[in-house]
Amino acid sequence: MPYLVTIGLEVHCQVKTRTKMFCSCETSFGGEPNTRTCPVCLGLPGALPVLNRYAIEKTLLAGLLLDCGSPEISKWDRKSYFYPDMPKNFQTTQMEAPLCLGGSVPMYDHCYPTDARKNIRRPGQTIRLNRIHLEEDVAKSTHLGNSSLIDFNRAGTPLMEIVSEPDLESAEEAVAYLRSLQMILQQGGISDADMEKGQLRCDVNISLREKASDPYGTKIELKNLNSISAIRRAIHHEVERQGEELDMGIPQVQSTRRWDDDRGETTLLRTKENADDYRYFACPDLLPVVTAPLLAKVRPLLPERPHERAARYEKDFGVSAYDASVLSSDLPLAIYFEALAATPGVPGKKAANFLINTLLGTLNDRSVAIADSPLSAEKSGALLTLVESGALALSQAKEVLAVLLDAPDKDPASVAKELGFEATDSDELGGLCDQVIAANPEKVAEIKAGNDKLLNWLTGQVMKAAPNKPNPKTVTDLLKERLI
């Protein structure tokens, strides 16, 4: 039987700081194992934590980006549990009074999986947040069959946990939520949120019920998923698994399960009752935080959010909603676009079309990100100016672009000249058109009878006869003046 699916996400995101949450050890990625540690992050007896003020400010800024509120006083707690990756046998976190409360995440249509964008069931949906709390990350475990290796370089890294309300209804919505949240955090400078580096991970809570009037079903948690595609696959599998068991009359037990991406299935890790199992209590080593002065400091730093930027692009530059969403989805791309659109005489819509359809495509073929483009926005603007003036056709501009990417110091007009793309004297070009028309009376008759496609053939004949490589559009326009 079909069931209503309810999903809530707990997203763990490393905060972008130079040092750890409670000590001065470096947080950079990729160091030799266990070289960025100290008595505090190793949990040695007698070591005392010191708060990282910058991590707190970044978390409060994340809260502002997501329209959260904050309590007047935020407190720290100990969450007791034993794992090899948590040597203190407790995690310093926030339970009673987290830094951020409420808020929401807008789900951008272009963040849905590509195959789901044409059938978005709840477009423009906003997902409520319950809270954002700040804690310390655990060590990294590497399992080797019969043994495991522990690297404590990651232990103690500032870690935000962003907890949603159970507002999601499908794996595709979960993907859109995660990508939208990731985009906001990255553009806000909160985190690099790179899942491949473990900077963004996710726990997924799933329950099923028969109808909306029923209470929520029993919650099953999928733990520590670290890729968006794996999250989508895991949710689809778990919904199917729970549905099959419910159909057989097997009640679900609140539990935590592990997703095996190679086998495409979840397996039971442990059953879990509630938060009481963790024996939370106030941390005796850390003072509460008064949030008002910190909020006053970070509020002026609040950046433009992706949906706000997209709306501005539509209004100020006249670009389509789709193009605006693409341009605002990546901050380096947005910066490049605004510099390109500032070129005198180049309309914003033309700048967007050139950037999205020409430059990005060429860079993608070379596996180069826009942030690493060898060609500056100013040089791209100069090239686009040649197109707008009629000196170059877009097809010719692509050839010039290919040269400029390998030799970005060159001037676009000079490269165009080197390639033979020079404007032909209008009288000379008109004379060539007349000659081609006179030499092809049968083609001309067909064109006059309505076969406009043959104009391209005539244009090609003029291009062959020209001493250089004129703009094909200019040639076609001259032929039209004479024939249509």
pLDDT value, residue 271: 84
**Topology annotation, domain 426-483:** Arc Repressor Mutant, subunit A (1.10.10)
pLDDT value, residue 158: 97
Spans of the chain, pLDDT less than 70: 273-276, 422-432, 444, 446, 449, 451, 462, 465, 467, 478, 481, 484
| Residue ranges covered by each domain of the chain | 4-299, 304-418, 426-483
User: pTM, whole model, 2 decimals?
Assistant: 0.86
Check: CB of residue 6 under 8 Å from CB of residue 207. yes
pLDDT value, residue 121: 93
Check: CB of residue 312 under 8 Å from CB of residue 318. no
Reported as a single tens digit per residue, the pLDDT across 380-407 is: 999 999 988 878 878 888 989 999 999 9
pLDDT value, residue 273: 60
pLDDT value, residue 472: 74
